[in-house]
Structure 1
Amino acid sequence: MIVNYGFNATLTARPGMGDRLVDLLLTGLHGGGPGASEHCVVYLVSRSASDPAVVHVTEGWTTEEDHHRIFAGEAARSIVAQIEGLLAKKSEYTDYVPVCGKAAF
């Protein structure tokens, strides 16, 4: 599948909540979570090397519409609601359209 819409999000957890934030974000890869959708081509959760409270999420979607439709669902709304309670400040987002790249895990 081709990624036609994506974004990077930087989330900053409240003190001592970085591990919980990562765990919660990773639940999005399972079951009915947004990262498990066939329309989610990239779902990468990373930690800052210098600040354990800072978590980065990279998502790539088939279309922006697919992203919005999946995030309007119950599973995604539940995860987002739980994430909001762990954050120290508002998340920062940067949208993008991938050109080319490589991923190996």
Structure 2
Amino acid sequence: MIAANGFNATLTARTGMGDQLVDLLLSGLDEGSPGASEHCVVYLVSRSASDPDVVHVSEGWTSEEDHHRVFARDAAQAIVAQVDGLLAKGSEYTDYVPVRGKAAF
């Protein structure tokens, strides 16, 4: 499948909670979680090289509608609620429309 919609998010955890935030975000790849959906074609969690409490997430979806539908489910909402409890401030989002690229993990 090809990603037709996506975003980057920068999340800042409360001091010392970066590891917990990363672990929680990576749980989004577990079976039944949003990142495991066939509609999620890119799900990359990265950390800032200079601040361990700053985490970046890049997601690519088959469509904006698919993203919204998957995130309306209970599993996604449970992760979102837990993420909110770890954050020092609101997340910063940049939306995008993928053109072409490569991902190998």
- Smaller-chain TM-score bracket: over 0.9
Give the match for residue 35 of structure 2: 35
2:84 is the alignment partner of 1:84? yes
Q: State the 1:31 CA deviation.
A: 1.6
Give the match for residue 4 of structure 2: 4
SS where residue 8 of structure 2 aligns?
A: strand
CA offsets 1:36-83 (integer angstroms, 9 cap, x no match): 000000000000000001000000000000000000000000000000
Distance in 1 between the 2:31 and 2:101 partners? 27
Distance in 2 between the 1:89 and 1:78 partners? 19
List alignment gaps of at least 5 residues for structure 2: none
CA offsets 1:72-98 (integer angstroms, 9 cap, x no match): 000000000000000000000000011
Q: Once superposed, which parts of structure 1, at least 4 consecutive aligned residues long, lie more than 4 Å away?
A: none
TM-score, normalized by length of structure 2? 0.99
SS where residue 35 of structure 1 aligns?
A: helix
Q: State the 1:104 CA deviation.
A: 1.5
SS where residue 85 of structure 1 aligns?
A: helix
Q: State the 1:34 CA deviation.
A: 0.2
List alignment gaps of at least 5 residues for structure 1: none
Give the match for residue 19 of structure 2: 19
TM-score, normalized by length of structure 1? 0.99
